[in-house]
A and B are shown apart, each in its own frame.
Chain A
C-alpha cells in the first residue's frame, strides 16, 4: 500500500526542520531503521529513519525547504500494514506506537495551509520560509489584507551571524521544552548521597589492563545503574501522554550531552538496561561523537524513556534536573568529590556522588522515588552486578 512519510517530531521542542538531503531517491528501497533523508534542526543535522521496509515513490519536498513537524515528505510503497512512527525504535513492542503519530500530526502548531494561502502571497510565503518565520506570525496580523514580501521583511528578526542564530535557536528550543515541562509537570525532587568508592575501585581494576579505547567511564556505570533500576521499579520509565502514564518495557536512557556551541541535547542509549558495560560504553562513545560532529539519528532523538544527566568532574555537588517531556523522570549525578563519610563509628574521606531525581507527581510520589534512588545506590555499591 501507499503511505505518506511525515516529518517526525524529534522532541517536545521541535516545531520544524529544513530538509537538507534525500538519502534515497524515487525507485530505491529503504529498510526499517535505515536513514531516508537528512534534516537540519536547531540541534544540528539529523538522519530521519524509515519506519517500514518500503520503496520510495516520490519526494514531496525538495532540499532546502523548511517544513513543520508532521508535514508529508515523501510517498512510499510499503508491503503490509504500516508501522506507526514509534518513539522507541527497533525492538519496541507494538504497544506504544499509536500516540507518537498523534504527537507528530497534532502537536505541531502547523499553520493551516488554507489560511496561509488566502492571506499571504506566494513570494512572501517563500521569503518567510527562508527567514524561518512561521506563517502563523502573519496570519494574525493580516487583518483581512494580503501579506506581501515587504511585510514579511518588516517583521523579520534582525539578522545576526549564522553561529549566533544557531545558538539562539538552540536556546529558544530548550526554553520552549523546559517551559512546557515546568508548566505541565508537577515535579518533585529527591536527592541521595552515595559512597562511590566501590564503583570507583571496581572501575580502576577493570580499566587497568585494558587498552585506552576499551576503558569505561563513570558516567556509563551510573547510566547502567539508572537503567536497571528504572526497569525494576515501575513509574519512572515511559511517557505521560493524553492524561495518563504509559510505562515502557524497554529502557532507552537519554544521555544529556552539552553541545560546545551552547545548549545541550539528550539522545537515547537504546535498551541501556540490557547491554553489558562495554557495549553501552561503545554506544555512548559513538553517540557523543555524533553530537560533536553535529550529525545524529532520528531514532535516538525520539526514543528516550528516561534521562540521565551528569555534571562531570568540574561540576557541583547536586543538580535539580527538569524533566524532558513526555518523559516522567530525570536522574542527576553531581560531581564525585572526596567528602567526609561516616563508616561504622569512623569519619573517613570517601568519593561521594550525590544522585538527584526529578520526577512527575502525576505518576509517582516521593516514597517510590526514594525507593528508586536507593535502588540505583544499591547497584552502584555492587558494581559487579552492573
Chain B
C-alpha cells in the first residue's frame, strides 16, 4: 500500500472515531491527546479502527505509537512491510 493511501485511510479512520474534530485542523506531527483532548476511550477507538482497517494486530504496548497521525503512519508502514 502506498504511503499516500495509508495517510488518506488513517485520516478517515481518525475522523470516523472523532467526528467532532475538523479534519483541516489536524497537525499530523502533534499528539492527539494534546491536540484534541483524546482520552483513553478515543485512543482505543482509534487503535481498534487502525487494527481492523489494515488487518494488523496492535499490542497495548504499541498504543503510544498511535499517539499522532504521523506516528500511526510510520507504525502501519512498518507493520505492512513486515508482512
Task: Please tell me if B77 contacts chain A, counting CB pairs below 8 Å.
Answer: no
Cα separation A313 to B64 with both chains bound (whole Å): 12
**Option from A213, A257, A292 in Cβ contact (under 8 Å) with B52:** A213
Q: Which of B9-56 contact A (CB under 8 A)?
A: 17-21, 33, 36-37, 39-42, 44-45, 47-48, 51-52
Nearest-neighbor residue (CB-CB) of A312 within chain B: B39
**Option from A208, A212, A294 in Cβ contact (under 8 Å) with B51:** A212
User: A292-B18, A293-B19, A293-B20 are contacts. A212–B41 as well, Cβ < 8 Å?
Assistant: no
Partner-binding segment picked from A104-112, A174-182, A215-223, A349-357: A215-223
Contacting residues, chain B, for A213 (C-beta < 8 A): 48, 51-52
Assess whether B44 is in contact with A215, with CB atoms less than 8 Å apart.
yes
- What is the interface of chain A, defined by CB distance below 8 A to chain B? 204, 207-208, 211-213, 215, 217-219, 257-261, 284-285, 288-289, 292-294, 312-314
Task: Please tell me if B6 contacts chain A, counting CB pairs below 8 Å.
Answer: no
Task: Tell me, rounded to whole Å, the shortest Cβ–Cβ distance linking A316 to chain B.
Answer: 15
User: A212-B47, A212-B48, A260-B21 are contacts. A207–B60 as well, Cβ < 8 Å?
Assistant: yes
User: A208-B60, A260-B36 are contacts. A288–B51 as well, Cβ < 8 Å?
Assistant: no
Task: Tell me, rounded to whole Å, the shortest Cβ–Cβ distance linking B49 to chain A.
Answer: 9
Q: Which 7 A-B pairs have the closest CB atoms?
A: A213-B48, A212-B51, A212-B48, A288-B41, A217-B40, A260-B20, A212-B47
Contacting residues, chain A, for B51 (C-beta < 8 A): 211-213
Cα separation A83 to B42 with both chains bound (whole Å): 37
Residue pairs across A and B with Cβ atoms less than 8 A apart, 5 shown, are A208-B59, A212-B44, A217-B40, A261-B20, A292-B42
Assess whether B60 is in contact with A284, with CB atoms less than 8 Å apart.
no
Other than the known A217-B44, A288-B39, A288-B41, what 6 A-B pairs have Cβ atoms closer than 8 Å? A212-B48, A215-B44, A219-B40, A219-B41, A260-B18, A285-B45
Contacting residues, chain B, for A208 (C-beta < 8 A): 59-60
Cα separation A314 to B67 with both chains bound (whole Å): 13
Cα separation A363 to B59 with both chains bound (whole Å): 45
Contacting residues, chain A, for B60 (C-beta < 8 A): 204, 207-208, 215
Contacting residues, chain A, for B20 (C-beta < 8 A): 259-261, 292-294
Nearest-neighbor residue (CB-CB) of A313 within chain B: B40
Cα separation A289 to B33 with both chains bound (whole Å): 17
Q: How many residues of B contact A (CB 8 A)?
A: 22
Task: Tell me, rounded to whole Å, the shortest Cβ–Cβ distance linking B51 to chain A.
Answer: 4
Contacting residues, chain B, for A260 (C-beta < 8 A): 18, 20-21, 36-37
Task: Tell me, rounded to whole Å, the shortest Cβ–Cβ distance linking A293 to chain B.
Answer: 5
Cα separation A218 to B39 with both chains bound (whole Å): 11
User: A211-B51, A213-B51, A260-B36 are contacts. A288–B19 as well, Cβ < 8 Å?
Assistant: no
Assess whether B37 is in contact with A258, with CB atoms less than 8 Å apart.
yes
Contacting residues, chain B, for A219 (C-beta < 8 A): 40-41
Nearest-neighbor residue (CB-CB) of A293 within chain B: B19
Cα separation A285 to B39 with both chains bound (whole Å): 12
Cα separation A306 to B21 with both chains bound (whole Å): 30
Task: Tell me, rounded to whole Å, the shortest Cβ–Cβ distance linking A275 to chain B.
Answer: 17
Cα separation A217 to B33 with both chains bound (whole Å): 16
Task: Tell me, rounded to whole Å, the shortest Cβ–Cβ distance linking B48 to chain A.
Answer: 4
Task: Tell me, rounded to whole Å, the shortest Cβ–Cβ distance linking A75 to chain B.
Answer: 35
Nearest-neighbor residue (CB-CB) of B62 within chain A: A212
Task: Tell me, rounded to whole Å, the shortest Cβ–Cβ distance linking A277 to chain B.
Answer: 14
User: A207-B60, A212-B58, A213-B48 are contacts. A285–B40 as well, Cβ < 8 Å?
Assistant: no
Cα separation A255 to B20 with both chains bound (whole Å): 19
Contacting residues, chain B, for A259 (C-beta < 8 A): 20
Contacting residues, chain B, for A257 (C-beta < 8 A): 39
User: A293-B19, A312-B39 are contacts. A285–B44 as well, Cβ < 8 Å?
Assistant: yes
Task: Tell me, rounded to whole Å, the shortest Cβ–Cβ distance linking A207 to chain B.
Answer: 6
